[in-house]
Structure formats: C-alpha cells, structure tokens
Amino acid sequence: MAAKLPTTIDETLKLLTSADYVADRSLATSVFLALAMKRPLFLEGEAGVGKTEIAKVMAASLGRELIRLQCYEGLDIAQAAYEWNYSRQMIEIRLAEAAGEKSKDKLAADIFSERFLIKRPLARALEGAPGKAPVLLIDELDRTDEPFEAYLLEVLSDFQITIPETGTLKAAEPPIVVITSNRTREIHDAVKRRCLYHWVDYPDAARELDILRRKAPKAAENLSREIVTFVQRLRTVDLFKLPGVAETIDWANALVALDKIALDPQTVNDTLGVLLKYQDDIERIAGQEAERLTAEAKAAAAA
C-alpha cells in the first residue's frame, strides 16, 4: 500500500519515527525537500551512522519498492543499468535466417527490442507507475570510479537512460533516489550539484538512547543508559575508527545475549571487539581506559 508523501517537515519527522527511525530535524528537512522537489538525496557520513537505513525506512514507510545498487570498482552499464540478452538475440538471428529473413534493418529492429533487454537496478528504477515510483538506493558511491559517476549524471538529472540501439528510457514518475557515501574519496561536484546534500552525524545521547530503546528493546533501561554514555564518551577519544550507531546496537544486543543488566569492566574488555574494529584501538581502550570509562558511564547514568 503506497502511502502519501508528507507535506510538511513535521509530517516527515513523524513518518520516519513511525518506521522506528529516530531522525533529527535537520535530516527530516532534507528528506522532506528531496521528496517534495523530486531531487536525489546525497547522504555522507562515517560508516555505521544509518545512511543506508534511511533509504530502507523511506521505502518501508511510503510503501514503495526498494531497488538497491551496491557500488564497487569497475561497476559498468551492464551491471548497473541494462544489458542485452545476447544468447537469445543469437538464437533470434538464426531463426530469422532460417525463415529466410533478408532485410538487415528489420532484423536489427527485431533483436534490439525491449524483449531482449535485461534491466538492471537503474533501468528498473525508471519503471515506476505514477504514485508508486520505487526508492532507488545507490549505496557507497565512493567505491566506484569516476566514469560511473559521469554515467549517473544523466540518470540523476533527467531520470532517463539513453540506449544507443533503441532510444531513451524515461521514467513516468522519477524514483526517490538516495545516494550514500562513506567519503573514502571525494565525489565530483557535478553529481553533488544535482542532489540535496546532508551530512549524517553521530547522534547525541538522547537520540541514541531513543534509537537503542527501539532497536534493542530487550536491553534493560539502566543498561541502555550506561551503554549510550559509554559510547558517547568513547567517541571523544582519539580513535582510528569511532563506533557508529550500528555498533552501539550490536553491543547492546551482545550484552543482552550475555544476560548482563549493567556494565562491568571485565565484560567491557571481553566485548570490546563489537564496538571497535581496529586492533590498535582495542589495545588502547582495553584495561585501564575501559575501567575508567565504565566507572564514568555508570556514574553519569545513575545521575
């Protein structure tokens, strides 16, 4: 069931919250504008702050199909947009020859018809009916290379794909486009210019606690508080990779699985690998630092 698009920022905020995504007002503004102006939304931020999740939540709450394009180096048109079904085309040529078809032009028109076109995510995203356009998630655009970015320009600005053999594929209704980037490389300004930009930051303590209540409901209230305070403090330490929200949720679930109802230094040390993903970071925090942070978190959570 396709839901109606929100008409104000407050409605957008409510919509995202109803799908268990705790957004702040700045993100809701960007999402609302992207929907209203029919512009792609460009989300940048550290890993694990919930960029991909936004697209999923938008698709779920609006009742739209989610089409995901995971980017990687060397991604080309055949995998991203469309491909011809060569083997079927070959068979078609043989059949036509056997039937005595002589006209090259007619044959070309026959085999380059939509029947033989295999549509990949970008082309499928342009097929939405009015009011039911899908959500297109172009995930981790920074992983691909510059030529693919250039190819995206046509899709993002005009919502169309030009196929040299047949013509142009144009969307009846433009898809809702969400692009994410982990910033391992700067994306070209030409792409960003066509999008609405939003930097997704780590949440503040109140919002993170709210997220934890929704995403790890089994964790005791007190434990959740301690976890959030611990992680928030951890983010002020000079680490190679700071823990994201995803790590916080994982950690809470891990502690629940271990039947913990409060933090203690031993458990923190044992489960640090859930939060920190680099050996030097773990080495730095494990032991005294972990003990200090745990004590601080307990004191702050109790207050």
Partner 1 sequence: MLLVPESTPGHGKLAENVMHFARILRGAGLRVGPDRVIDCMKAIELAGTARRDDFYWTMSAIFLSREEQRPIFDQAFQIFWRDPKLLEKMMQALLPATYGKTGREEQEQSQRLTDALFNKKRDEPEQQPEQKIDLDAKLTFSSREVLQRMDFDTMTAAELAEAKKMLAQLRLPLPEVRTRRQAPDARGARVDLRATLRASLRGGSAMIPLVRTAPKTLHPPLVVLCDISGSMNPYARMFLHFLHAITNDRDRVSVFVFGTRLTNVTRQLKHRDVDVAMTRVADAIKDWSGGTRIGTCLHDFNFKWGRRVLGQNACLLLVTDGLDREAGEGLAEEMERLRMACRYIIWMNPLLRYDKFEAKPAGVRAMLPYVDRFLPVHNLKSLIDLGRMMGEPARRTTLSRAKRTH
Q: What is the secondary structure of 37-85 as a DSSP string?
A: HT--EEEE-STTSSHHHHHHHHHHHHT--EEEEE--TT--HHHHTEEE-
Q: Which of 193, 218, 235, 292 binds partner 1 (CB under 8 A)?
A: 193
Query: How many C-beta neighbours within 10 Å does residue 268 have?
Result: 23
Site for partner 1 in 194-213 (CB under 8 A): 196-199
Does 73 bind partner 1 (CB under 8 A)? Our answer is yes
Nearer to partner 1, 123 or 223 (CB): 123
Nearer to partner 1, 189 or 259 (CB): 189
Tell me which stretch binds partner 1 (CB under 8 A): 183-191, 227-235, 245-253, 256-264: 183-191
- Region of 138 (left: φ > 0; alpha: ψ -120 to 50; beta: rest) is beta
Q: Which residues, including other chains, have CB under 8 Å from residue 136's CB and lie 6 or more apart? A: 67, 69, 121, 122, 125, 175, 176, 177, 178
Does 270 bind partner 1 (CB under 8 A)? Our answer is no
Tell me which stretch binds partner 1 (CB under 8 A): 31-39, 207-215, 243-251, 261-269: 31-39
User: Which residues partner with 180 through β-bridges?
Assistant: 43
Tell me which stretch binds partner 1 (CB under 8 A): 53-61, 68-76, 204-212, 264-272: 68-76
Does 107 bind partner 1 (CB under 8 A)? Our answer is yes
Torsion of CA 135, 139, 141, 145, to 10 degrees: -110
Q: Where are the alpha helices (DSSP H) in the chain?
A: 9-18, 25-37, 51-62, 77-80, 86-98, 104-111, 121-125, 146-158, 189-193, 205-215, 221-234, 245-257, 265-275, 279-285, 288-302
Residue 242 carries which side chain, given as an amino acid letter?
L
In the complex, least distance from residue 95 CB atom to partner 1, rounded to whole angstroms: 15
User: Do the strands 41-44 and 176-181 form a parallel or antiparallel pair, or are they unpaired?
Assistant: parallel
Does 90 bind partner 1 (CB under 8 A)? Our answer is yes
In the complex, least distance from residue 173 CB atom to partner 1, rounded to whole angstroms: 18
Tell me which stretch binds partner 1 (CB under 8 A): 124-132, 188-196, 226-234, 266-274: 188-196
Tell me which stretch binds partner 1 (CB under 8 A): 63-71, 139-147, 172-180, 246-254: 139-147
Q: Which residues bind partner 1 (CB under 8 A)?
A: 8-9, 25-26, 29-30, 32-33, 36-37, 39, 44, 73-74, 76, 78, 83-84, 86, 89-90, 93, 104, 107-108, 111, 142, 145-147, 165, 183-186, 189, 192-193, 196-199, 238, 240, 280
